[in-house]
Amino acid sequence: MKRVTGLGGIFFKSDAPDELNQWYDKHLGLSFNGQSYSTFRWRDFHSNIAARTEFSLFKKDTSYFAPSDSPFMLNFRVENLENLLNLLIQEGVKVIGEMETYPYGKFGWILDPEGNKIELWEPIEEGFGDDASK
**Is-contact 120 109, C-beta < 8 A?**
yes
pLDDT above 90: residue 55: yes
Q: What is the pLDDT of residue 129?
A: 58
Domains of the chain (ranges plus CATH)? Answer: 4-128 (3.10.180.10)
**Residue 6 in contact with residue 76, Cβ under 8 Å?**
yes
Q: What is the pLDDT of residue 86?
A: 97
Please state, rounded to an integer, the average pLDDT across all residues of the chain: 90
Q: In this predicted structure, what is the pLDDT of residue 102?
A: 95
Is the pLDDT score of 133 beyond 90? no
Q: Partners of 27 in the beta sheet?
A: none
pLDDT class of 67 with cuts at 50, 70, 90 = very high
Angle at 9 between CA 6 and CA 13, to 5 degrees: 150
Q: How far apart are CA 48 and CA 60, in angstroms?
A: 37
pTM across the whole model: 0.86
* pLDDT confidence of residue 134: 40
For residues 77 and 128, which has the higher predicted lDDT (pLDDT)?
A: 77
Backbone angles phi, psi at 52, to 5 degrees: -150, 150
Residue 53 near residue 9 (C-beta atoms within 8 A): yes
For residue range 1-38, list pLDDT tens digits in order. Answer: 789 988 999 999 999 999 999 999 999 899 898 888 99
